[in-house]
Structure 1
């Protein structure tokens, strides 16, 4: 996951060189998953938004926290919001799949 996060960050740095914006017909909400129609059409927006809200270091902290809390019983709740980074990671995985799928068709 750490490598995926870093690769996603590099995608945002090279955003102008990549073209993933695809005009598609109306898409079923089931196909969209967590992505909006705009994000489905341009999956690079997902990475851009994720790294606008969280840094690589914060994603690393999130992953470490998830591993820590999943390995045992703890008395104190997490200090930070664990849901928002998870949603971003899930959306980035969906977007990465779309990017790979669309790049393979060219």
Structure 2
């Protein structure tokens, strides 16, 4: 059976980067840094509750941000499957203060766990719906009353951003299969 590949749809913001999610991660962070994504996501969520319009001076920025985060979601969804074949390179620092405060110690050691937890909680479609909803509400000049939970997907997006940055910084390596001979005794 042939697997359906997810299109990362990167043509709107970094140019055409396709196929390899690790190359898309590099393009994602080459386009903007972690703080940019976190700040814009937080601002969009905050504006969805207020009359303040997100990116009122340049609404096209909201579209570019939407396409980048939508690509980010697809990469994260893909990475939950890659966790079976790849592992994050070991951290050089042992017991230091976590640089990425949204992650637990376990998630810091293995950032792939974040994607598994996120997509166990919400589907890719639910995260995409959340993204559409916050942008719709934040671009409206009227104060919105979100009819669904915005907190849970927001927290998972922040955690996934931190996990993706950690993967990019530390790098990944393929998990080598080890064949062990099992002795059967009677």
| Short-chain TM bin | 0.7 to 0.9
- 1:45 corresponds in structure 2 to 113
How far residue 36 of structure 1 moved from its aligned partner, in angstroms, is: 0.5
Structure 1 unmatched runs, 5+: none
Higher relative contact order, structure no. (Cα contacts within 8 Å, ≥ 6 residues apart) = 1
The root-mean-square deviation of aligned C-alpha atoms, in Å, is 1.8
Structure ID, larger Rg: 2
Q: What's the counterpart of residue 96 of structure 2?
A: 27
User: What residue in structure 2 maps to residue 98 of structure 1?
Assistant: 166
Structure having the larger proportion of residues in helix: 1
CA contact (8 A) 2:137 2:144 kept: no
Q: Which runs of 5+ in 2 are unaligned?
A: 1-68, 173-186
Q: TM-score, normalized by length of structure 2?
A: 0.51
Deviations 1:19-49 (A, max 9, x none): 11636511215x2311111111110011110
**What is the TM-score of this pair, normalised by structure 1?**
0.87
Find runs of 4+ consecutive structure 1 residues off by over 6 angstroms: none
